[in-house]
């Protein structure tokens, strides 16, 4: 400053938070029902640390039956949309997801459904 060769050192530090999704309830158990009858439940998807809008996609499991046939007995709906939105106070709004199951063939399943954002988290 004013031709004085003084040196200034600035140190910056920060924390990077990765976006994540939590679920309430964390596990899902659908009740047994007669063949071709739909069973359904709702879960809350709780996004955290998303700094911009993102859209949730769901990978539904494909089930292989004893005879080799493959079925997709699960379906999902997002009644209020599937976009993660940043609210004015810096938090992310919860999403509601309805998960349903219907099969015309006897089947039981224990496995995972994958909920993925636009950046494949």
Digit-by-digit pLDDT tens for the chain (121 residues) are: 566 666 677 888 888 778 889 999 998 888 889 999 999 999 999 999 888 889 999 999 999 888 889 999 999 999 999 999 888 887 899 999 999 999 999 888 888 899 999 888 8
Cα–Cα dist 47/20, whole Å: 6
In this structure, which CATH number among 1.10.490, 2.60.40, 3.30.70, 4.10.860 belongs to the domain 20-116?
2.60.40
Rounded to an integer, what distance in angstroms lies between the CA atom of residue 111 and that of residue 65? 15
Would you call 24 exposed, middle or buried from its count of C-beta atoms within 10 A (0-12, 13-18, 19+)?
exposed
- The full set of domain ranges for the chain reads 20-116
């Amino acid at each position: 400053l004013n031709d004085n060769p003084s040196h200034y050192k600035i140190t910056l530090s920060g924390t990077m938070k990765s976006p994540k999704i939590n679920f309430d309830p964390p596990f899902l158990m659908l009740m047994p029902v007669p063949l071709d009858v739909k069973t359904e439940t709702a879960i809350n998807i709780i996004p955290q640390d998303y700094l911009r809008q993102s859209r949730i996609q769901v990978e539904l499991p494909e089930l292989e039956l004893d005879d080799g046939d493959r079925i997709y007995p699960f379906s999902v709906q997002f009644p209020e949309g599937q976009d993660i939105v940043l609210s004015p106070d810096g938090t992310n709004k919860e999403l509601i997801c309805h998960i349903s199951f219907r099969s015309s063939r006897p089947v039981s399943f224990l496995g995972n459904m994958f909920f993925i954002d636009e950046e494949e988290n």
